[in-house]
Every structure is written in structure tokens, then in C-alpha cells.
């Protein structure tokens, strides 16, 4: 095999990935940044400046929505961790063989289904004429129809539902690798269930916790369907704002600035999460 | 709390009850979606008016079933068209990437690998708008320069395919690379010793070995493409894929036709998901 043909082969392999990453990832984001620092001063007349970012900070509605989206995403991440951890622990430590495989599979099935279908399901359950409202009336707990949809709690239920798999899978993987004998040793040495959780299980599961939290936070931040369909009129979400700037208002300059701010927040969280846990991006993403 | 250490039975039962409650929570939305597909009512809500399959096969208004609702059938066709293109492109580029990352060492490999992972951490909406802005700018420039129209670069199926391809390829690359790493290069060398050409050896020895991973990633690509919403929403033109068409209908007010479509989607997704698991199991 001559080295000329193998070099040719190398460049032939290099071409598709460079084309893909340059044309669809890098250049579009550079372009997005350039548009975000462009201001329209007249018809077909533009100037460079930070006016779009200034507008974001001047208008309370914009940065309130931004902060709200970030805070709700943090709450959703924390809730997902709290609800998912016992499940992951149960699957990893208290079941074996076929039961374990079945439970794990049951966790995954809802996520093979389109997010739209899942959200639609919650709408049927929570709306005024929905299943839960009717159930509560039949049980005599409430006297008339109750509207459970279109509020922040409904958004939270939907967000946790959408992202819980991405918490449970990495947690099961890390908890699986914890040797039972370490837990037994903890009990032998007189540890209580709480102290064993705190001193042995949680430190061991930390990499899984961090990668789960990163992914869930990212997914919540970038979610569009759940807040739009389950949230009320006042439940604005930042992705919804980006959409309306782009598609409804046709203000691409401001929309690009919003998009960039969301990208910065999302990347910052990923970066900090990886720094705190001392993990690499490839290891974290490989796990999910 | 492990099986070999005894626990109070009250705590054990509480724990089991929580696990049962959790799985109910997981199953509940999907169950109601499926059940109300058979409700003989024009709203997907209680009261239960009796069992019907009209939302699948019905031909008379208001009971026009999925199989006779033209807009939905067209959307399914659009989705399938997009999915086939996305899966084909993603698997082809993903296979090339796997060979590049597993077989070659070059300067900047680590950096290129990180960039390759970026689509996973970019929110789908941002991916969509960045491609929208970029392609519109190119279209404007080209149209100003040439005076011709470049409709392909405006929102529409081409952009939807490119947008989905841009992140599905990362998954395909990861799955196929993982398989290629397990391949013993001695097998390929043996083929070369026996007189095979380089490409002959790859075609006859390496690619068949990779086939399970290639099929699994193709199935996952189809699934991701069918279900994608965020990126597609920003790039869609006049032909809507299924999720977008369903979203538009849902905003107008839902009828059980949506439940029927959802039920079919659940069945197809579960089938595809099972297929990808089977391929991956054979891989192990």
C-alpha cells in the first residue's frame, strides 16, 4: 500500500466531517453572532453595535423571562434528581436479572415516543375537562371542574417527565458500578442508612449525578413544546421569545442576540458542571 | 439499603410503593392518549361515549379517521421522506467519521472530536435559527449577485433535512465508532495478505462487522428525525413534517384524530426502539 493512496484516503475521510461541522455548525453560529451585533438603522442599512444586547437588559420582560427560564430549569433539574435517584437506586441495587432489565426498559419506552405525544397526554390529563379533574370530582374531593393546566406546576410536571430518563440512565450506570460489599462494610462499621448514603453512595454516584444534571438542565432550558402547550399566558419561556422574534416579529437581529444569550448560558452550565466534577465532555456525553 | 442487609418492612413497602407510583406516572400520559383514540366523541376528554375505531377508519365528518385525513397522511409522507434522507446522510458521514477517528492519528484530532460533540450541547432551537440565518444570508447574497432565485436555501425540506442531519450525525458517529474500536485489524490484514485490495477488504470484512451498528444508528436516526420538533420548527416551510402538523392541529383545538395518530406513532416508535435494541444486542 503506497502512502499516496492512504493519504488520499485520509483526506477523503476528512472532507465530510469538515464540511458538516463548518457548514452546519461553526459558520452558522459565527453568522448568528454577527447578526446579533448588527443593528438596523434604516431600510437595508445596518451598523455594528451591541444595541440588541442593550435592548435585552433594558426591557424587563426580556431578562425576566430569561431569569425565569433559568430558575425554572434549575428547579426542574433538582426535582428530576430527587425523584429519579430513588428509582435509579432501586433498579441498580435492589433488582436483578430480568426484573432489572424490564424496569430499565419501562423507563425508556416513554422516551422513544415523540415529545409532542407525551405533552398531549398531559394536556388530556390536566385540563379542566380532563381525566384528573373528573377523577377528583368522582371521588368527591372537589365539587366542580378544576383547571390544572396552564400554570407553572403543569410546566414542571411536563419538564420532569420529559427529562427524567436522562437522569435515571447515567445514575443507574454509576450505581451499578458500586460494589455492594462497600455498603455492607458501611453497615458493619455501624453506619446508619443516612450516613451510608451520604458517605458512600452519593460520592460514588457523583459523576452520574453531574452528567444527568447537565443534560436535564440543557433540555429544560431549550424546551419549547412543554412551556408553550402546558403553560399559561404568563408562563413565558425564553425559547418561545426567540421563536416570536424570528417568526412572528421578524426581528432577526434581536432574536439572534436572544439565541446567543441562551447558548452562552447553556454552555456555561455545561462547562461549570464539567469543571466541578472534573469530567471530560466526551465521557459525559458517552454515558447518556 | 441492599438486599443482603435486612430493612424494616415498613420502609421496604414505602419504597416499593414509591417505585410503583413512579411507573404509573411514566405510563399515565401515554395510556390516556391511547385510550381516548377509541372514544366515540369529538373531544379527547371524558365522558366516555363508547368504543369506536372511527378515528382510524372513519370517512364521514366529523369522524374522519387517520387513514382518510389527507393532511395527516401527507405529513407522515413528508416525515418519512425527511427521515430517510437524514438517516442515509448521517450514517454515511458517521461511518466516515468512525474510520477517521479510530484509524487515523493527526494533528488537531482531539479538538475535532470535541467540535464533533458540540451539536449535542447546542439547544435545538439555536441550531435551527443559526442554520436559518446562515442559509438566508447565503441566499440573499447569491440572489443579489446573480439575479436568480435560490429557494432551496429558504425554509423548507432541504433545510429541515440539513438541520436534523447536523446533530443526528454525532449520534451515528459515536455508535459506529464504538463498534469499530472492537474490530481486530488483524482480520483486515489477513484479507490483504490473501490478495484483497484495500477497499475490497473493507467492503468484505470490516463493513459486515460494522453492519449491526450501522443498522442500529440508522434506526435511531429515523426515530430522532421523526420526533424532532425544536430544530424543525425553525426551518420548516410549507410542507410540514408530522410533529409540526400535529402541533398546529393541537393549537387549533384537538380531536381524537390526534390520539389515533399518536397511538400509531407510539407503536412505530416502540417497534423501532425494540429494533435498535436487538441490533445492539447482536453487537455485544
Quote the ipTM score: 0.84
- Distance, in angstroms, between B196 CA and closest chain A CA? 11
**pLDDT tens, N- to C-terminus, chain A (288 residues):** 445 667 788 888 888 999 999 888 999 999 889 888 888 777 777 778 787 888 888 888 888 889 989 999 999 999 999 999 999 988 888 888 788 888 888 887 777 788 888 888 888 888 877 777 777 777 777 777 777 778 788 889 999 998 888 888 888 888 888 877 788 888 888 777 778 878 788 888 888 888 888 889 988 998 888 888 888 777 788 888 888 888 888 888 888 888 999 999 988 888 888 887 777 666 666 544
The answer to whether A256 and B117 are in contact (CB under 8 A) is no
| Contact between chains at B270 and A109 (C-beta distance less than 8 A) | yes
**Residue A38 backbone dihedrals phi, psi, to 5 degrees:** -105, 135
Q: What is the distance in angstroms between the Cα of A60 and the nearest Cα belonging to chain B? A: 22
What b-and-e string marks burial along A180-195, b requiring 16 or more CB atoms within 10 Å of the CB? eeebeebbeeebeeee
Residue A81: CB atoms within 10 Å:
18
User: Cβ contact (<8 Å) for B25 and A127?
Assistant: no
Residue B42 cell numbers, joined: 369529538
CB-CB: which of A120, A223, A263 is closest to B33?
A120
Out of A17, A115, A242, name the one closest to residue B129 (CB). A242
- The C-alpha atoms of residue A120 and residue A127 are separated, in whole angstroms, by 11
pLDDT of residue A288: 43
What chain B residue is nearest to A116 in terms of C-alpha separation? B243
* The pLDDT of residue A1: 44
pLDDT for residue A2: 45
pLDDT at A253: 85
Q: B265, A113: Cβ pair inside 8 Å?
A: yes
Sorted by where each begins, the domain ranges of chain A are 53-287
Q: B254 and A270: CB-CB below 8 Å?
A: no
- CATH of range A53-287; options 3.40.50.620, 1.10.3720.10, 3.30.565.10, 3.40.50.10860: 1.10.3720.10
- In chain B, the residue whose alpha carbon lies closest to the alpha carbon of A33 is B130
Within an 8 Å CB–CB cutoff, is residue B162 touching chain A? yes
Q: Which residues of B touch A282 (CB under 8 A)?
A: 113-114, 117
Distance from CA of A30 to the nearest CA of B (A): 8
In chain A, residues 26-85 whose CB comes closer than 8 Å to chain B: 26-29, 31-32, 35, 83
Q: Would you write out chain B's pLDDT as a tens digit for each of its 284 residues?
A: 666 666 777 888 888 899 899 988 888 888 888 888 787 776 766 667 667 776 666 666 666 667 777 888 888 899 999 999 999 999 999 999 998 988 888 888 888 988 898 888 888 899 999 999 999 888 888 888 888 777 777 888 899 999 999 999 999 999 899 888 888 888 888 888 888 888 888 888 888 888 888 988 998 899 889 888 889 998 988 888 988 988 888 887 777 788 888 888 888 888 887 877 777 766 54
Chain B neighbors of A12, CB-CB under 8 A = 96
Rounded to a whole number of angstroms, the distance from the CA of A216 to the nearest CA of chain B is 11
Q: Is A224 on the interface with B (CB under 8 A)?
A: yes
Q: Which residues of B28-59 are buried (b: 16+ CB within 10 A; e: fewer)?
A: bbbebbbebbbbebebbbbeeeeebebbbebe
Please give the pLDDT value at position A285.
Answer: 60
Binary contact (A28, B130; C-beta < 8 A): yes
C-alpha triplet A82, A121, B230: angle, nearest 5°: 80
Chain A residues within 8 A of B144 when measuring between CB atoms: none
B 204-263 residues inside an 8 A Cβ radius of A: 223, 226-227, 229-230, 233-234, 243, 246-247, 250, 254, 258-259, 262
Q: Residues of B with CB below 8 A from A90's CB?
A: 15, 19
As given in the structure block, the three cell numbers for residue B186 are 488483524
Q: Does A118 touch chain B (CB under 8 A)?
A: yes
CB-based contact B75:B157 (threshold 8 Å): no
Distance CA B202, CA A61 (A): 58
Catalogue all structural domains in chain B, each as residue range(s) with its CATH number: 70-253 (1.10.3720.10)
Q: How high is the pLDDT of residue B114?
A: 87
Q: Which residue of B has its CA nearest to A95?
A: B3
The pLDDT of residue B42 is 67
Q: Does B90 touch chain A (CB under 8 A)?
A: no
Select from A35, A229, A270 the Cβ nearest to the Cβ of B250.
A229
Query: First vs last Cα of chain A: how many Å apart?
Result: 39
Amino acid at each position: 500500500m503506497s502512502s499516496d493512496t492512504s493519504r488520499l484516503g485520509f483526506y477523503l475521510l476528512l472532507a465530510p466531517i469538515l464540511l458538516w461541522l463548518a457548514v452546519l455548525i461553526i459558520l452558522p453560529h459565527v453568522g448568528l453572532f454577527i447578526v446579533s451585533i448588527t443593528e438596523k438603522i434604516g431600510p437595508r442599512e445596518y451598523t455594528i453595535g451591541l444595541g440588541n444586547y442593550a435592548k435585552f437588559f433594558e426591557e424587563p420582560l426580556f431578562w425576566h423571562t430569561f431569569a425565569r427560564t433559568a430558575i425554572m430549569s434549575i428547579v426542574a433539574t433538582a426535582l428530576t434528581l430527587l425523584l429519579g435517584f430513588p428509582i435509579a437506586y432501586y433498579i441498580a441495587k435492589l433488582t436483578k436479572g430480568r426484573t432489572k432489565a424490564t424496569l430499565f426498559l419501562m423507563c425508556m419506552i416513554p422516551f422513544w415516543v415523540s415529545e409532542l405525544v407525551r405533552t398531549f397526554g398531559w394536556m388530556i390529563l390536566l385540563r379542566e375537562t380532563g381525566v384528573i379533574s373528573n377523577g377528583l370530582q368522582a371521588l368527591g374531593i372537589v365539587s366542580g371542574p378544576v383547571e390544572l393546566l396552564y400554570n407553572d406546576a403543569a410546566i414542571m410536571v411536563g419538564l420532569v417527565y420529559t427529562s427524567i430518563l436522562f437522569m435515571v440512565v447515567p445514575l443507574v450506570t454509576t450505581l451499578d458500578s458500586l460494589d455492594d460489599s462497600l455498603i455492607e462494610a458501611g453497615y458493619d462499621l455501624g453506619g446508619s442508612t443516612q450516613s451510608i448514603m451520604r458517605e458512600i453512595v452519593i460520592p460514588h454516584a457523583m459523576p452520574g449525578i453531574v452528567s444527568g444534571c447537565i443534560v436535564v438542565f440543557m433540555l429544560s432550558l431549550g424546551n419549547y413544546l412543554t412551556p408553550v402547550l402546558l403553560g399559561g399566558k404568563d408562563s413565558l419561556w425564553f425559547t418561545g421569545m426567540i421563536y416570536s422574534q424570528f417568526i412572528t416579529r421578524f426581528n432577526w437581529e434581536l432574536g439572534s442576540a436572544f439565541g446567543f444569550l441562551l447558548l452562552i448560558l447553556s454552555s456555561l452550565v455545561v462547562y461549570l458542571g464539567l469543571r466541578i466534577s472534573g469530567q471530560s465532555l466526551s465521557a459525559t456525553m458517552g454515558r447518556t | 439499603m441492599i438486599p443482603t442487609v435486612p430493612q424494616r418492612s415498613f420502609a421496604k413497602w414505602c419504597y416499593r410503593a414509591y417505585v410503583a407510583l413512579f411507573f404509573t406516572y411514566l405510563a399515565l400520559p401515554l395510556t390516556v392518549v391511547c385510550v381516548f383514540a377509541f372514544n366515540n366523541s369529538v373531544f379527547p376528554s371524558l365522558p366516555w361515549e363508547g368504543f369506536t375505531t372511527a378515528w382510524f377508519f372513519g370517512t364521514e365528518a366529523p369522524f374522519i379517521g387517520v387513514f382518510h385525513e389527507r393532511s395527516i397522511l401527507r405529513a407522515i409522507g413528508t416525515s418519512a421522506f425527511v427521515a430517510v434522507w437524514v438517516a442515509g446522510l448521517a450514517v454515511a458521514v458517521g461511518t466516515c467519521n468512525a474510520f477517521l477517528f479510530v484509524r487515523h492519528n493527526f494533528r488537531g484530532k482531539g479538538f475535532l472530536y470535541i467540535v464533533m460533540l458540540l451539536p449535542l450541547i447546542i439547544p435545538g432551537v439555536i441550531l435551527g435559527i443559526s442554520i436559518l440565518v446562515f442559509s438566508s444570508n447565503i441566499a440573499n447574497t447569491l440572489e443579489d449577485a446573480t439575479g436568480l432565485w435560490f429557494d432551496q436555501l429558504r425554509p423548507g425540506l432541504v433545510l429541515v433535512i440539513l438541520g436534523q442531519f447536523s446533530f443526528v450525525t454525532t449520534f451515528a458517529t459515536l455508535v459506529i465508532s464504538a463498534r469499530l474500536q472492537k474490530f481486530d485489524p488483524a482480520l483486515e490484514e489477513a484479507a490483504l495478505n490473501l490478495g484483497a485490495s484495500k477497499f475490497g477488504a473493507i467492503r468484505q470484512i470490516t463493513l459486515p462487522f460494522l453492519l449491526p451498528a450501522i443498522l442500529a444508528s440508522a434506526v435511531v436516526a429515523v426515530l430522532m428525525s421523526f420526533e424532532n420538533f425544536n430544530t424543525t420548527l425553525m426551518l420548516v416551510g410549507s410542507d410540514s413534517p408530522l410533529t409540526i402538523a400535529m402541533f398546529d392541529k393541537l393549537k387549533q383545538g384537538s380531536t381524537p384524530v390526534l390520539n389515533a395518530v399518536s397511538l400509531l406513532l407510539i407503536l412505530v416508535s416502540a417497534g423501532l426502539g425494540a429494533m435498535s435494541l436487538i441490533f445492539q444486542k447482536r453487537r455485544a
